[in-house]
Each structure stands twice: as structure tokens, then as C-alpha cells.
Amino acid sequence: MDTLYSLLPIILMFVIFYFLLIRPQQKRQKKVKEMQSDLKKGDSVITIGGFHGTIHAIDESTVIIAADGVKLTYDRSAIREVSNSVASE
């Protein structure tokens, strides 16, 4: 019984650590993966490097982003956020 009481604070610490750090990070990762899988041609996006542009073409693992007459190829994972969709404007 004493062993259980001595391990209880450590177990409690791990449970708190899980709910405060690990679980929210997993939720954020899931949300980002959903956003990246829902990308479509015409979406205005911002990359992790800060490049703003519109998706010109898209395939399984890469996207071609166009801005001011320049077309650049990025991995899908480099898209940080969709700023707005041209189709919805």
C-alpha cells in the first residue's frame, strides 16, 4: 500500500502532463492534417516560410503556388494556413 501512495504523485504528474501538453498538440496536428488534405485549386494560402499565394495545381504530395507571375512548388506539409478561398469570394 505504501508503494501505491509513493507512485501516486508520479502517475498523477503523467496524467496532468498528458492532458496539458500531449493531447492539445495531437488535436492541433489533426486539424492541420485535415486542412492540408482539404486544399484545392484556387485557395489562397500562406506557407510556413511566410510566402502568400494561390494554389495553381495540386497533387498527392505537392502544390504549385502562384503569386505575381511566379510559380513555386511546395510540399503539402509546408502549407501553414488557408487565408481564404477564391471560390467563396
Tell me what pLDDT residue 41 has. Answer: 94
User: How many other β-carbons are positioned within 10 Å of the β-carbon of residue 32?
Assistant: 14
Report d(CA 66, CA 68) in Å as an integer: 7
- Cell 496539458 maps to which residue? 20
Summarize the confidence of residues 2-7 as an average pLDDT.
86
More confident residue, 86 or 39: 39
Tell me what pLDDT residue 68 has. Answer: 93
Report d(CA 56, CA 74) in Å as an integer: 11
Closest CA to 55 of 33, 14, 87, 28: 87
Chain-centroid distance, C-alpha 11: 30
Amino acid type, 11? I
Q: Which three cell numbers stand for residue 74?
A: 511546395
36-85 confidence digits (pLDDT tens): 999 999 999 999 999 999 999 999 999 999 999 999 999 999 999 999 75
Please give the model's pTM, rounded to 2 decimal places. 0.69
